[in-house]
């Protein structure tokens, strides 16, 4: 009846897993929006560190060494526990064996540090002194601010203005680590000045913040931009989650029938899923992989597979992805980390090839599951993670009906201790669902130019 499974420091994996090398159908290439030519790593060097630019487009190497300096920092909080959710199983009365990987124990409270440390390290190694990024609710901004401090870099974070005002504690965390935090849109960039001139009360969005962060990186010497999800190198760094879980499941003497992650851009889902999916691809195992997205931002379940921009302003390369259109404005749900219009290129290809499944979860169902989990296991989950829990609860309830003892593994991507205003709303009964229909998605996509 062991509850938690750990790895000793010397059992922590020393390489990340690059699923692109093993995929039979590779992701289609990102394109230069002007020439429509496939991008080469060099094309990304002006914005990103060279090493992550190479990782982004690497279709060859299945295993990539984790630098010693990053491994050392991983030991500050890794291995994260793999936990058998006996409490949740009991609350549900299910014969299923439910496990979760607890990424909420990282110093910043979410999985995002796994990639922030890697990205900051490569920047440092390449002589970069300053890094920029955008953040919405603030989880990525917190992770990057800490990683910058660790490797002696200056961090400038553009935080969506409405979140900057509504989520003061994440701003305080970033400032505690020494980052400079600017509400976006701001007067500090051309893009920000233009937006504010046209619309002085613009509340900001990830789109405005990305534009400002990229502009600062392009116009400042020795400064690079970093991103917290969507791109393939971010998911690569997150595979540490699944690689650890694989060894921990061995210690538990089980192998998952179903692996579940919540879905924003795909990095925590890919992080826990890809190391197990490898065995489906190479050895014909039959594990199911389920991405759980919010019903208010349903790119996987209602989006269309096509080339689209990664940001609202259209500054990024064109990416082949399941998308609602880069002009899609998701409702203001509490799972801020899941409010993104598209899916990363790897996950998009895998979904197209039926190597994984996707489900959508309404906001109320996600919090129903989150409260059930909190009461049964003691941990208050992030609103994003509640979507993964809801999908796990659905599968566990199916097992209850069929009597099957399936092994379900989900990723607890973060804790919700800084999101208690969302729980307050749920408890007071004022939390809402949001409906997005196929028709709304089609109308939105029709407004966009077809790129390829």
Ligand X SMILES: *Cc1c(COP(=O)(O)O)cnc(C)c1O
240 belongs to the binding site for ligand X (CB under 6 A):
no
Site string for ligand X, 180-219 (x = CB under 6 A): ----------------------------------------
# binding residues, ligand X (CB under 6 A)? 20
**CB closer to ligand X, 94 vs 102:** 102
| Comparison of 228 and 325: residue with beta carbon closer to ligand X | 228
Residue whose structure tokens are 């990525």: 140
Using an 8 Å Cβ cutoff, are 437 and 324 in contact?
Answer: no
**Per-residue x/- marks for ligand X, 396-425, CB under 6 A?**
-----------------xx-----------
Q: Which is nearer to ligand X, 80 or 94 (CB)?
A: 80
Q: Applying CB under 6 A, does 266 fall inside the site for ligand X?
A: yes
The footprint of ligand X on residues 85-114 (CB under 6 A) is 110, 112
Q: Which of 192, 207, 256, 264 binds ligand X (CB under 6 A)?
A: 264
Q: Least CB distance from residue 294 to ligand X, whole Å?
A: 10
Which is nearer to ligand X, 411 or 444 (by Cβ)?
411
The answer to the question of residue 265 lying near ligand X (CB under 6 A) is yes
> Does 384 sit near ligand X (CB under 6 A)?
yes
Binding flag, residue 139, ligand X (CB under 6 A): yes
262 binds ligand X (CB under 6 A): yes
Evaluate the omega torsion of the peptide bond into residue 189 and state whether it is cis, within 30 degrees of 0: no
Asked if 272 touches ligand X (CB under 6 A), the answer is no
Residue 385 near ligand X by CB under 6 A: yes
Measured between alpha carbons, how far is residue 111 from residues 58, 67, 235, 337, 375 in Å?
23, 18, 11, 12, 22
CB of 264 to ligand X, least distance (A): 3
CB-nearer residue toward ligand X: 304 or 417: 417
To the nearest whole angstrom, how small is the minimum distance from the Cβ of residue 199 to ligand X? 27
Residues 319-378 binding ligand X (CB under 6 A) are 337-338
User: Which stretch in 76-84, 355-363, 370-378, 379-387 sits in contact with ligand X by CB under 6 A?
Assistant: 379-387
Determine phi and psi for 361, rounding to 5 degrees.
-130, 130
Q: Is 177 within 8 Å of 171 (Cβ atoms)?
A: no
Contacts of 157 (CB under 8 A, 6+ apart): 132, 133, 134, 135, 141, 144, 145, 174, 179, 180, 181, 182, 213
CB 270 within 8 A of CB 347: yes
24 CB neighbour count, 10 Å cutoff: 8
Backbone angles phi, psi at 2, to 5 degrees: -65, 135
Rounded to the nearest 10 degrees, how much is the dihedral formed by the CA atoms of 371, 377, 381, 383? -30
**The dihedral sign for the CA sequence 175, 180, 184, 187:** positive
SS3 content of the chain, % helix, strand, coil (to 5): 45, 20, 40
| Those residues with Cβ within 8 angstroms of residue 330's Cβ, 6 or more apart along the chain or in another chain | 294, 296, 297, 339, 340, 341
229 binds ligand X (CB under 6 A): yes
How many alpha carbons lie under 13 Å from residue 11 in its C-beta half-sphere? 14
Verify binding: residue 268, ligand X, rule CB under 6 A.
yes
Q: Which residue has the tokens 């065995």?
A: 279
- Segment contacting ligand X (CB under 6 A): 7-15, 73-81, 83-91, 256-264? 256-264
Q: What residues make contact with ligand X under the rule CB under 6 A?
A: 110, 112, 139-140, 229, 262-269, 337-338, 382, 384-385, 413-414
């Amino acid at each position: 009846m062991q509850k938690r499974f750990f790895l000793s420091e010397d059992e922590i994996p020393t390489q990340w897993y690059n699923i692109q090398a093993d995929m039979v159908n590779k992701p289609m290439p990102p394109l230069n929006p002007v020439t429509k030519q496939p991008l080469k790593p060099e094309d990304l060097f002006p914005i990103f560190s060279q090493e992550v630019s190479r990782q982004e487009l690497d279709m060859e190497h299945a295993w990539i060494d984790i630098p010693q300096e990053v491994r050392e920092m991983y030991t500050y909080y890794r291995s994260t526990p793999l936990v058998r959710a006996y409490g949740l199983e009991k609350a549900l009365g299910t014969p299923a064996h439910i496990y979760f990987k607890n990424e909420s124990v990282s110093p910043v409270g979410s999985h995002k540090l796994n990639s922030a440390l890697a990205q900051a390290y490569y920047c440092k190694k390449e002589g970069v002194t300053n890094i920029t990024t955008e953040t919405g609710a603030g989880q990525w901004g917190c992770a990057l601010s800490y990683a910058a401090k660790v490797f002696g870099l200056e961090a400038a974070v553009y935080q969506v203005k409405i979140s900057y005002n509504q989520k003061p504690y994440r701003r305080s965390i970033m400032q505690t680590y020494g980052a400079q935090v600017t509400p976006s849109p701001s007067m500090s960039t051309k893009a920000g000045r233009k937006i504010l001139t046209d619309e002085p009360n613009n509340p900001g969005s990830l789109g405005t913040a990305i534009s400002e962060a990229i502009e600062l990186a392009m116009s400042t010497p020795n400064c690079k931009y970093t991103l917290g999800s969507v791109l393939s190198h971010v998911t690569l760094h997150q595979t540490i989650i699944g690689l650890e879980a694989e060894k921990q499941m061995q210690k538990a003497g089980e192998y998952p029938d179903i692996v579940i992650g919540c879905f924003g851009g795909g990095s925590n889902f890919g992080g826990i899923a890809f190391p197990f999916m490898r065995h489906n691809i190479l050895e014909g195992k039959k594990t199911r992989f389920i991405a759980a997205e919010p019903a208010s931002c349903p790119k996987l379940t209602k989006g269309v597979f096509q080339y689209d921009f990664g940001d609202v302003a259209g500054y990024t390369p064109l990416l082949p992805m399941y998308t609602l259109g880069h002009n899609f404005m998701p409702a203001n749900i509490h799972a801020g980390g899941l409010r993104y219009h598209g899916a990363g290129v790897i996950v998009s290809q895998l979904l197209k090839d039926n190597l994984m499944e996707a489900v959508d979860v309404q906001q109320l169902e996600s919090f129903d599951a989150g409260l059930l989990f909190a009461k049964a296991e003691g941990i208050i989950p992030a609103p994003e993670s509640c979507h993964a829990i809801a999908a796990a609860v659905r599968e566990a309830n199916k097992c209850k009906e069929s009597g099957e003892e399936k092994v379900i593994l989900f990723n607890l991507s973060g804790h919700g201790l800084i999101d208690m205003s969302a729980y307050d709303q749920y408890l007071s009964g004022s939390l809402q669902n949001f409906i997005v229909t196929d028709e709304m998605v089609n109308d939105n996509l029709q407004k966009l130019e077809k790129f390829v």
